[in-house]
A and B are shown apart, each in its own frame.
Chain A
Amino acid sequence: DSGVTQTPKHLITATGQRVTLRCSPRSGDLSVYWYQQSLDQGLQFLIQYYNGEERAKGNILERFSAQQFPDLHSELNLSSLELGDSALYFCASSVGPSGLYNEQFFGPGTRLTVL
Chain B
Amino acid sequence: GIQVEQSPPDLILQEGANSTLRCNFSDSVNNLQWFHQNPWGQLINLFYIPSGTKQNGRLSATTVATERYSLLYISSSQTTDSGVYFCAVPPRGGLGNLIFGKGTKLSVKP
Binding site for B on A (CB under 8 A): 2, 31, 33, 35, 42-45, 48, 55-56, 58, 88, 90, 92, 94, 97-106, 108-109, 111
The main secondary structure of chain B at its interface with chain A is loop
Q: Whole-angstrom distance from the CB of B87 to the nearest CB of chain A? A: 11
Chain B residues contacting A104 (CB-CB under 8 Å) are 33, 98
**Interface residues in chain B, defined as those with a beta carbon under 8 Å from any beta carbon in chain A:** 30-31, 33, 35, 41-45, 48, 86, 88, 90, 94-100, 102-103
- Of B48, B97, B102, which is within 8 A of A58 by CB? B97
Q: Are A103 and B33 in contact (CB under 8 A)?
A: yes
A91 nearest CB across to chain B (Å): 11
User: Which chain B positions have C-beta within 8 A of A101?
Assistant: 30-31, 96
The residue on B at minimum CB distance from A2 is: B45
Query: Which of B44, B88, B95, B96 gathers the greatest number of chain A CB atoms within 10 Å?
Result: B96
Contacts of A56 in B (CB 8 A): 94-97
